[in-house]
Amino acid sequence: MPRNQQIHLDNRPQGEAVASNFKLVTTDTPALADGQVLVRNHYLSLDPYMRGRMNDAKSYAQPQPVGEVMQGGTVGEVVESRSPKFAVGDKVVGFGGWQEYSVVDASQPGSLKKVDTTHVPLSYYLGAVGMPGVTAWYGLVKIIAPKEGDTVVVSAATGAVGSAFAALAKARGCRVVGIAGGPEKCKYAVDELHFDACIDYKEHSDGKAMGKALKDACPKGIDGYFENVGGWIMDAVMLRMNAFGRIALCGMIAGYDGAPLPMAHPALILVSRLKIEGFIVSEHMEVWPEALTELGTLVATGKLRPRESVAEGIAAAPEAFLGLLKGKNFGKQIVKLV
């Protein structure tokens, strides 16, 4: 059996996450039992939510255990099978974690899924046609529920969720405005992702300046907002929300280091009669087939062309992840293992 390199959580962060929180470990791959398959992971996914799970704090999911493989999504190829459901050579998406090989109990529902790479690249099943894409779909369709002509805004606009959100919202006839960091990302958002406008938050020092930029970009106000960041950016958006606006609260990356994120204008929730709903996409598996069908079609027809930031090799995963938390990635952050 092949040797397997893994990244473990070695210790919990004290404030900001650092490289020494992780440890590279080499182990033997165990022999398969009946019903199991061995997957050679080709790509692993790095996502902001993983930072929150590194803390030993109450959340929607159990904390990442110390001394064990970092958890996360993977895509790869079955290289050995003792399950009638999977054959050697099948391309699959699963939750193999930060490691080169994963042993999967194929009898567990949802543990592993075959994917078709004829029109959709394998790595896209970790992004646009995977969990981030479905996240964008759920927040837009089920919470914001826009009408044609509505103005919708998304933070972290050029990431895996934001890029899918733009394509989905444009397909519904919305004016789509993004918030991203840096002129290159904003140019990409408008030129390639077809945002109607994109605001560079790095050009604005506080909520007041951001509010003016939002007023210029959203002259009719904001009907729906997809939140990935929190903090002063969310405060600025709330000042521009129309009456009965909807906010899909997906992520609060500004607060993942543990510091509280006070809200500057909570009275606006009442004054503007806002609907704010947090959600975890794994709790809504019933929508995944519909969402993935639409997302796959958008990719196959060229209406969604997401960008990827690719780190090479399992040892590169920690630094790539820390860069993601600081916005250094451009598009979906993945690690190539093969």
pLDDT digits (tens, 9 = 90+) for 93-117: 999 999 999 999 998 988 999 999 9
C-alpha separations of 70 from 55, 59, 161, 239 in Å: 13, 17, 21, 39
Token pair, residue 284, equals 């809504």
Pairing of strands 151-155, 175-180: parallel
Q: Band of the pLDDT at 258, cuts 50, 70, 90? A: low
> 282-328: per-residue pLDDT in tens?
899 999 999 999 999 999 999 998 899 999 999 999 999 999 998 88
Quote the tokens at residue 61. 């999911």
Q: What is the pLDDT of residue 251?
A: 85
| For helices 288-300 and 160-171, angle between their N-to-C axes, nearest 10 degrees | 90
Q: pTM of this prediction?
A: 0.90
Reply yes or no on whether the pLDDT at 10 is more than 70.
yes
d(CA 237, CA 232): 9
SS3 52: helix
Q: For 203-252, write each residue's pLDDT tens digit.
A: 997 888 999 999 999 999 999 999 988 889 999 999 999 999 999 999 88
Instruction: Please write the tens of the pLDDT for every residue from 38-75.
Output: 999 999 999 988 998 999 877 777 899 999 999 999 99
